[in-house]
Protein backbone atom coordinates (compact mmCIF):
# COMPACT_ATOMS: atom_id res chain seq x y z
CA UNK A 1 0.00 0.00 0.00
CA UNK A 2 2.93 2.39 0.63
CA UNK A 3 4.00 1.91 -3.00
CA UNK A 4 0.47 2.73 -4.14
CA UNK A 5 0.39 5.90 -2.02
CA UNK A 6 3.73 6.94 -3.51
CA UNK A 7 2.34 6.51 -7.02
CA UNK A 8 -0.69 8.63 -6.13
CA UNK A 9 1.52 11.37 -4.64
CA UNK A 10 3.72 11.32 -7.73
CA UNK A 11 0.71 11.61 -10.00
CA UNK A 12 -0.75 14.61 -8.18
CA UNK A 13 2.69 16.23 -8.04
CA UNK A 14 3.08 15.78 -11.79
CA UNK A 15 -0.41 17.20 -12.37
CA UNK A 16 0.41 20.32 -10.32
CA UNK A 17 3.84 20.88 -11.85
CA UNK A 18 2.70 20.40 -15.46
CA UNK A 19 -0.34 22.69 -15.30
CA UNK A 20 0.39 26.14 -16.78
CA UNK A 21 -1.51 29.38 -16.04
CA UNK A 22 -1.37 32.48 -18.29
CA UNK A 23 -3.32 35.74 -18.31
CA UNK A 24 -5.26 36.42 -21.52
CA UNK A 25 -6.60 39.96 -21.84
CA UNK A 26 -7.97 41.75 -18.81
CA UNK A 27 -10.31 39.15 -17.38
CA UNK A 28 -9.39 35.64 -18.54
CA UNK A 29 -6.73 33.19 -17.35
CA UNK A 30 -5.78 30.36 -19.71
CA UNK A 31 -5.11 27.06 -17.93
CA UNK A 32 -3.18 24.43 -19.87
CA UNK A 33 -3.65 20.96 -18.40
CA UNK A 34 -1.16 18.12 -19.03
CA UNK A 35 -3.68 16.00 -20.91
CA UNK A 36 -3.53 15.48 -24.66
CA UNK A 37 -6.65 15.59 -26.81
CA UNK A 38 -7.26 13.38 -29.86
CA UNK A 39 -5.00 15.71 -31.93
CA UNK A 40 -2.14 15.50 -29.42
CA UNK A 41 -2.72 19.09 -28.27
CA UNK A 42 -2.80 19.97 -24.59
CA UNK A 43 -6.27 20.65 -23.21
CA UNK A 44 -6.86 24.31 -22.43
CA UNK A 45 -9.64 25.83 -20.34
CA UNK A 46 -10.32 29.42 -19.33
CA UNK A 47 -10.98 31.01 -15.95
CA UNK A 48 -12.87 34.23 -15.24
CA UNK A 49 -13.49 35.90 -11.87
CA UNK A 50 -17.21 36.63 -11.38
CA UNK A 51 -19.32 38.27 -8.69
CA UNK A 52 -20.37 34.81 -7.48
CA UNK A 53 -16.91 33.21 -7.63
CA UNK A 54 -15.34 31.81 -10.79
CA UNK A 55 -16.39 30.65 -14.25
CA UNK A 56 -14.45 27.83 -15.95
CA UNK A 57 -15.06 27.07 -19.63
CA UNK A 58 -13.52 25.28 -22.58
CA UNK A 59 -14.49 28.17 -24.83
CA UNK A 60 -16.41 25.82 -27.10
CA UNK A 61 -13.30 23.99 -28.34
CA UNK A 62 -14.47 20.46 -27.46
CA UNK A 63 -17.77 20.37 -29.33
CA UNK A 64 -16.63 22.71 -32.13
CA UNK A 65 -13.60 20.51 -32.73
CA UNK A 66 -15.73 17.38 -33.00
CA UNK A 67 -18.13 19.05 -35.44
CA UNK A 68 -15.25 20.32 -37.59
CA UNK A 69 -13.89 16.78 -37.81
CA UNK A 70 -17.21 15.41 -39.06
CA UNK A 71 -18.56 13.95 -35.83
CA UNK A 72 -22.21 14.99 -35.78
CA UNK A 73 -23.98 15.23 -32.43
CA UNK A 74 -27.43 15.72 -33.92
CA UNK A 75 -28.92 12.27 -33.34
CA UNK A 76 -31.15 11.74 -30.26
CA UNK A 77 -28.87 8.92 -29.11
CA UNK A 78 -25.77 11.10 -29.12
CA UNK A 79 -27.56 14.05 -27.56
CA UNK A 80 -28.78 11.80 -24.77
CA UNK A 81 -25.30 10.41 -24.14
CA UNK A 82 -23.80 13.91 -24.25
CA UNK A 83 -26.32 15.18 -21.70
CA UNK A 84 -25.82 12.16 -19.44
CA UNK A 85 -22.06 12.66 -19.49
CA UNK A 86 -22.31 16.37 -18.70
CA UNK A 87 -24.83 15.73 -15.92
CA UNK A 88 -22.56 13.10 -14.42
CA UNK A 89 -19.79 15.66 -14.05
CA UNK A 90 -22.07 18.58 -13.16
CA UNK A 91 -21.00 20.46 -16.29
CA UNK A 92 -23.35 22.83 -18.14
CA UNK A 93 -23.52 23.45 -21.90
CA UNK A 94 -24.07 27.04 -23.03
CA UNK A 95 -24.17 27.08 -26.82
CA UNK A 96 -21.11 25.01 -27.73
CA UNK A 97 -19.25 25.92 -24.53
CA UNK A 98 -18.80 23.48 -21.67
CA UNK A 99 -18.63 25.34 -18.37
CA UNK A 100 -18.87 25.15 -14.59
CA UNK A 101 -19.22 27.72 -11.84
CA UNK A 102 -16.94 27.44 -8.83
CA UNK A 103 -16.16 29.02 -5.49
CA UNK A 104 -12.84 29.18 -3.65
CA UNK A 105 -13.88 26.12 -1.65
CA UNK A 106 -14.75 23.84 -4.58
CA UNK A 107 -12.55 25.30 -7.32
CA UNK A 108 -10.19 22.31 -7.55
CA UNK A 109 -12.91 19.70 -7.89
CA UNK A 110 -14.95 21.79 -10.35
CA UNK A 111 -11.86 22.29 -12.53
CA UNK A 112 -11.23 18.56 -12.32
CA UNK A 113 -14.80 17.80 -13.42
CA UNK A 114 -14.60 20.12 -16.43
CA UNK A 115 -11.36 18.57 -17.67
CA UNK A 116 -12.65 15.04 -17.12
CA UNK A 117 -15.85 15.85 -19.03
CA UNK A 118 -13.77 17.16 -21.95
CA UNK A 119 -11.74 13.94 -22.02
CA UNK A 120 -14.86 11.77 -21.70
CA UNK A 121 -16.76 13.56 -24.47
CA UNK A 122 -13.79 13.54 -26.83
CA UNK A 123 -13.27 9.83 -26.20
CA UNK A 124 -16.92 8.84 -26.63
CA UNK A 125 -17.68 10.89 -29.71
CA UNK A 126 -14.43 10.73 -31.66
CA UNK A 127 -15.10 8.02 -34.22
CA UNK A 128 -12.28 6.75 -36.42
CA UNK A 129 -14.68 6.04 -39.30
CA UNK A 130 -17.34 8.67 -40.19
CA UNK A 131 -19.84 5.99 -41.17
CA UNK A 132 -19.71 4.29 -37.76
CA UNK A 133 -23.10 4.94 -36.14
CA UNK A 134 -22.91 3.11 -32.80
CA UNK A 135 -20.86 4.54 -29.96
CA UNK A 136 -18.65 2.12 -28.11
CA UNK A 137 -20.49 2.63 -24.84
CA UNK A 138 -23.72 1.60 -26.57
CA UNK A 139 -21.97 -1.39 -28.14
CA UNK A 140 -20.85 -2.60 -24.72
CA UNK A 141 -24.30 -2.05 -23.22
CA UNK A 142 -25.91 -3.92 -26.11
CA UNK A 143 -23.53 -6.84 -25.62
CA UNK A 144 -24.27 -6.95 -21.88
CA UNK A 145 -28.00 -7.06 -22.69
CA UNK A 146 -27.63 -9.84 -25.26
CA UNK A 147 -25.41 -11.78 -22.86
CA UNK A 148 -28.06 -11.41 -20.11
CA UNK A 149 -25.59 -9.73 -17.79
CA UNK A 150 -27.29 -7.50 -15.20
CA UNK A 151 -25.80 -4.03 -14.69
CA UNK A 152 -26.32 -0.41 -13.73
CA UNK A 153 -24.92 2.47 -15.81
CA UNK A 154 -23.12 5.74 -15.07
CA UNK A 155 -22.09 4.92 -11.52
CA UNK A 156 -20.20 7.41 -9.33
CA UNK A 157 -18.21 6.57 -6.18
CA UNK A 158 -16.48 8.95 -3.79
CA UNK A 159 -12.83 7.98 -3.86
CA UNK A 160 -10.26 8.04 -1.08
CA UNK A 161 -9.25 11.52 -2.24
CA UNK A 162 -12.81 12.79 -1.70
CA UNK A 163 -13.32 13.22 -5.46
CA UNK A 164 -16.22 11.43 -7.16
CA UNK A 165 -15.04 8.81 -9.67
CA UNK A 166 -17.31 7.84 -12.55
CA UNK A 167 -17.58 4.36 -14.02
CA UNK A 168 -19.67 3.19 -16.96
CA UNK A 169 -21.15 -0.03 -15.58
CA UNK A 170 -21.57 -1.73 -12.22
CA UNK A 171 -22.33 -5.45 -11.91
CA UNK A 172 -23.35 -6.07 -8.33
CA UNK A 173 -22.08 -8.87 -6.10
CA UNK A 174 -23.71 -12.27 -6.46
CA UNK A 175 -23.39 -15.53 -4.54
CA UNK A 176 -20.73 -16.69 -6.99
CA UNK A 177 -18.84 -13.48 -7.81
CA UNK A 178 -17.75 -10.16 -6.25
CA UNK A 179 -18.73 -6.69 -7.36
CA UNK A 180 -17.42 -5.82 -10.84
CA UNK A 181 -16.83 -2.27 -12.08
CA UNK A 182 -16.39 -1.49 -15.77
CA UNK A 183 -15.03 1.45 -17.73
CA UNK A 184 -15.02 1.66 -21.52
CA UNK A 185 -12.18 3.01 -23.66
CA UNK A 186 -13.23 3.93 -27.18
CA UNK A 187 -9.98 5.68 -28.14
CA UNK A 188 -7.17 3.92 -26.23
CA UNK A 189 -4.64 6.68 -25.58
CA UNK A 190 -2.24 7.12 -22.71
CA UNK A 191 -4.60 9.75 -21.26
CA UNK A 192 -7.60 7.42 -21.21
CA UNK A 193 -5.59 4.58 -19.68
CA UNK A 194 -4.04 6.86 -17.04
CA UNK A 195 -7.47 8.27 -16.19
CA UNK A 196 -8.93 4.82 -15.55
CA UNK A 197 -5.95 3.79 -13.45
CA UNK A 198 -6.25 6.88 -11.22
CA UNK A 199 -10.01 6.39 -10.88
CA UNK A 200 -9.59 2.77 -9.82
CA UNK A 201 -6.66 3.41 -7.46
CA UNK A 202 -8.64 6.16 -5.75
CA UNK A 203 -11.79 4.02 -5.56
CA UNK A 204 -10.43 0.59 -4.70
CA UNK A 205 -9.93 1.13 -0.97
CA UNK A 206 -13.49 2.40 -0.45
CA UNK A 207 -15.13 -0.52 -2.25
CA UNK A 208 -15.50 -4.12 -0.97
CA UNK A 209 -12.12 -5.79 -0.69
CA UNK A 210 -12.82 -8.32 -3.44
CA UNK A 211 -14.20 -5.83 -6.00
CA UNK A 212 -12.78 -6.21 -9.50
CA UNK A 213 -12.21 -3.62 -12.22
CA UNK A 214 -12.46 -4.15 -15.98
CA UNK A 215 -11.57 -1.92 -18.91
CA UNK A 216 -13.41 -2.70 -22.16
CA UNK A 217 -11.19 -1.51 -25.01
CA UNK A 218 -12.32 -0.81 -28.57
CA UNK A 219 -9.72 -2.56 -30.73
CA UNK A 220 -11.84 -2.49 -33.90
CA UNK A 221 -9.50 -1.77 -36.81
CA UNK A 222 -6.51 -0.94 -34.62
CA UNK A 223 -3.69 -2.57 -32.71
CA UNK A 224 -3.63 -1.94 -28.96
CA UNK A 225 -0.28 -1.14 -27.38
CA UNK A 226 1.02 -3.85 -25.07
CA UNK A 227 2.20 -1.01 -22.78
CA UNK A 228 -1.40 0.09 -22.29
CA UNK A 229 -2.53 -3.44 -21.47
CA UNK A 230 0.39 -4.01 -19.09
CA UNK A 231 -0.28 -0.69 -17.32
CA UNK A 232 -3.87 -1.72 -16.63
CA UNK A 233 -2.84 -5.16 -15.40
CA UNK A 234 -0.21 -3.66 -13.10
CA UNK A 235 -3.00 -1.87 -11.25
CA UNK A 236 -5.26 -4.94 -11.14
CA UNK A 237 -7.58 -3.75 -13.91
CA UNK A 238 -8.49 -6.50 -16.33
CA UNK A 239 -8.34 -5.32 -19.96
CA UNK A 240 -11.04 -6.81 -22.19
CA UNK A 241 -10.45 -6.33 -25.91
CA UNK A 242 -13.74 -5.91 -27.77
CA UNK A 243 -12.69 -8.55 -30.29
CA UNK A 244 -12.15 -11.00 -27.42
CA UNK A 245 -15.12 -10.06 -25.22
CA UNK A 246 -16.77 -13.49 -25.28
CA UNK A 247 -13.98 -14.85 -23.09
CA UNK A 248 -15.22 -12.64 -20.22
CA UNK A 249 -18.93 -13.40 -20.58
CA UNK A 250 -19.17 -16.15 -17.98
CA UNK A 251 -17.30 -14.32 -15.24
CA UNK A 252 -19.39 -11.18 -15.76
CA UNK A 253 -22.68 -13.08 -15.94
CA UNK A 254 -22.09 -15.14 -12.81
pLDDT tens-place string over residues 190-203: 888 888 998 999 99
pLDDT tens-place string over residues 201-232: 999 989 998 999 999 998 877 788 899 999 99
Residue 11 has pLDDT above 80, yes or no: no
> What is the predicted pLDDT for the residue at 7?
67
pLDDT tens-place string over residues 124-158: 665 444 434 357 888 899 999 999 999 999 899 99
Cα separation of 5 and 126, whole Å? 33
Cα separation of 51 and 58, whole Å? 20
Global pTM exceeds 0.75: no
> What is the predicted pLDDT for the residue at 186?
83
User: Which residues does 53 contact at the CB level (< 8 Å), separation at least 6?
Assistant: 101, 102, 103, 104, 107
Amino acid sequence: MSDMNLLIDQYYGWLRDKTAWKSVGNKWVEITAPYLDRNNDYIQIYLEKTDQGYLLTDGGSTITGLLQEGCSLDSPQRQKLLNLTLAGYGVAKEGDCLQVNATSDNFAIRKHFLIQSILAISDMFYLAQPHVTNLFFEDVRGWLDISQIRYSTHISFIGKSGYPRKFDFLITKSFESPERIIKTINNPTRNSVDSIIVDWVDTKDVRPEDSKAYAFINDSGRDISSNALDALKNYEIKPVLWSDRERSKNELAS
